Amino acid sequence: MAVETVPLGWDSPTVIVTMDEKRRLSVPEALAPAAPGDAFDARFDDEEDAIVFRRVKRGRSWVDVLKACPVPMDDLPPRSREYPRKRKL
């Protein structure tokens, strides 16, 4: 009969993060590995009195964004080549 060893430590360690003068929070890398330039969606939950961060998927190409456009590019009106008129105020 084999006995499993339990690793010392938690799966989700408790970390207290302090806000600096510029209202920035620094999250330790061990808690949430991230790279500079990663984007996060931040929301405040009133019921839990907590800030929830979700990583925003990166690497979306402009072709995917164009395909998701609700209006086909052929249906858009042509751009005017005229200069804008000066309005009388």
Choice among 1-10, 28-37, 80-89 with the minimum mean pLDDT: 1-10
Domain ranges of the chain: 40-73
pLDDT of residue 6: 57
Alpha carbon 38 to its chain centroid, in Å, reads: 7
* pLDDT tens-digit map of 18-28: 888 998 888 88
Cα–Cα distance, 63 to 87 (Å, whole number):
38
Q: Beta strands of 30-80 (E only): which ranges?
A: 40-45, 50-55
pTM here?
Answer: 0.43
What amino acid is encoded at 61 in this protein? S
* pLDDT tens-digit map of 35-79: 888 888 889 989 988 888 888 877 767 787 777 777 776 777 777
Query: Does residue 1 carry a pLDDT above 60?
Result: no
